[in-house]
């Protein structure tokens, strides 16, 4: 009798232990992910790397969309994977080869997630268009329709920066709303016109406890590029001006790869400005000088072009909210897309009945982890990713 009772107690402890291990697993995976993404170094990062899945980066392939074939790349963890995820970067000409994107994809895959990166062609060309939402919808449909990638017919969707806001807006479309396990916006927007206004004026809706900081010069340069053909400069100056802005933006991107090459490219942009006629030369000079205060008012009158206010591009303008859980992650002092955007989006979606999880983190700048903060902030971020990884 006592032996039988002892076996029951042992069995109970084993069950409890198994349950606790199952519950703890997402937190362990999330903690490992955080350590690797944040590059904490030392024995902690070495331990996390040793216990992460080995990752195979497969050759690039293409996904058929209604707007043509779009390059994509798989990052496959060894063994069984818990979920497939579509990871979409923001405005960046390097697309799926962008260093921060490839690093994040590898780190996510190391956590036991199969990742497919796919860059939106128009965002690679510094264009915010309605076509991008169609590409997101088609890519989700393709990926979720593959039994080898999505046995339960659902995938995760993670969008970064402007792709984050568009991903949330697109996730409510009838064709894919039941094909998503979750959608995550990392530093994304709620309302595109409001963000464009912020980028040229520095003005954003004020919320208690949320700080608005001056906008980054990268954003207004992108807007000059996008709206250059709307009358900012004469028609014959549009292409030359855009070529100069592209050079500056590419130099900005190179600062994360090679500072010597970045500085040389910045110099090319400054020399190129001297070859432009007026008014393109003045606008290019503002770009090179990072003079948001001078360039912003010049771009402001052109922000209300048709389509900018479409619900396709702004998640807080659509009634078709996602049925899957929505995760909103934002840095506390974002100078590209204001922090208030995720707070406002969380409020809007919650009122519409969505399952929303919001974290404003002091550890994040715009869409990367590179800051020091209190241990409590680290635990919040680990808990957030643990909630995502268990979906």
Residues 227 and 280 in one domain: yes
Q: Which of 265, 280, 302 is the last residue of a domain?
A: 302
Q: Where are the alpha helices (DSSP H) in 39-98?
A: 42-50
Residues 179 and 218 in one domain: no
With cut-offs at 50, 70 and 90, classify the pLDDT of residue 20.
very low
Residues 59 and 183 in one domain: yes
Residues 67 and 125 in one domain: yes
Instruction: For 326, list phi and psi in degrees, rounded to 5.
Output: -110, 125
Contacts for 325 with CB less than 8 Å, ≥ 6 apart: 181, 182, 183, 355, 356, 357, 391
Which structural domain range is residue 361 located in? 48-191+315-389
Indicate whether 355 belongs to any domain. yes
Residue 346 sits in a domain whose CATH number is 3.40.50.1820
pLDDT, tens digit (0-9, with 9 covering 90-100), for 113-158: 999 999 999 999 999 999 999 999 999 999 999 999 999 999 999 9
Residues 176 and 272 in one domain: no
Residues 278 and 320 in one domain: no
pLDDT, tens digit (0-9, with 9 covering 90-100), for 59-68: 999 999 999 9
Residues 298 and 324 in one domain: no
CA torsion sign for 140, 143, 147, 149 is negative
Residues 59 and 179 in one domain: yes
pLDDT, tens digit (0-9, with 9 covering 90-100), for 232-258: 999 999 999 999 999 999 999 898 888
pLDDT, tens digit (0-9, with 9 covering 90-100), for 177-192: 999 999 999 999 999 9
Q: Which of 249, 267, 302 is the last residue of a domain?
A: 302
Indicate whether 32 belongs to any domain. no
Indicate whether 4 belongs to any domain. no
pTM over 0.75: yes
Q: Which of 302, 329, 363 is the last residue of a domain?
A: 302
Q: How many distinct structural domains can be found in the chain?
A: 2
Residues 53 and 180 in one domain: yes
């Amino acid at each position: 009798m006592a032996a039988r009772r002892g076996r029951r107690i042992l069995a109970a402890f084993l069950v409890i232990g198994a349950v606790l291990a199952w519950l703890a697993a997402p937190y362990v995976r999330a903690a490992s992910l955080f350590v690797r993404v944040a590059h904490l170094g030392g024995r902690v990062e070495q331990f996390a790397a040793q216990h992460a899945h080995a990752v195979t980066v497969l050759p690039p392939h293409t996904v058929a969309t209604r707007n043509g074939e779009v390059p994509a790349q798989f990052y496959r963890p060894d063994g069984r994977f818990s979920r497939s995820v579509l990871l979409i970067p923001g405005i960046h000409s390097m697309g799926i080869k962008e260093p921060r994107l490839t690093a994040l994809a590898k780190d996510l895959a190391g956590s036991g997630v199969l990742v497919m990166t796919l860059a939106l062609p128009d965002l690679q060309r510094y264009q915010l268009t309605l076509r991008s939402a169609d590409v997101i919808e088609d890519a989700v449909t393709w990926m979720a329709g593959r039994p080898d990638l999505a046995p339960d017919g659902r995938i995760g969707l993670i969008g970064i920066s402007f792709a984050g806001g568009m991903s949330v807006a697109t996730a409510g479309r009838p064709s894919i709303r039941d094909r998503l396990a979750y959608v995550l916006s990392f530093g994304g927007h709620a309302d595109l016109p409001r963000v464009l206004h912020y980028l040229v004026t520095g003005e954003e809706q004020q919320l208690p406890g949320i700080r608005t900081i001056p906008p980054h010069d990268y954003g207004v340069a992108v807007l000059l590029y996008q709206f250059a053909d709307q009358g900012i400069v004469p028609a014959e100056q549009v292409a030359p001006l855009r070529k100069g802005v592209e050079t500056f933006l590419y130099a900005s991107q190179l600062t994360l790869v090679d500072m010597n090459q970045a500085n040389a490219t910045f110099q090319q942009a400054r020399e190129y400005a001297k070859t432009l006629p007026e008014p393109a030369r003045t606008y290019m000079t503002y770009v090179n000088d990072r003079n948001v205060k001078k360039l912003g008012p010049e771009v402001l009158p052109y922000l209300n072009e048709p389509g900018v206010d479409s619900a396709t591009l702004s998640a807080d303008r659509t009634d078709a909210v996602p049925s899957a859980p929505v995760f909103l992650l934002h840095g506390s002092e974002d100078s590209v897309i204001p922090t208030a955007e995720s707070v406002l989006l969380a409020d809007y979606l919650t009122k519409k009945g969505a399952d929303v999880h919001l974290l404003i983190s002091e550890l994040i700048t715009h869409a990367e982890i590179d800051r020091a903060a209190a241990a409590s902030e680290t635990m919040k971020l680990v808990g957030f990713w643990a909630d995502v990884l268990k979906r």
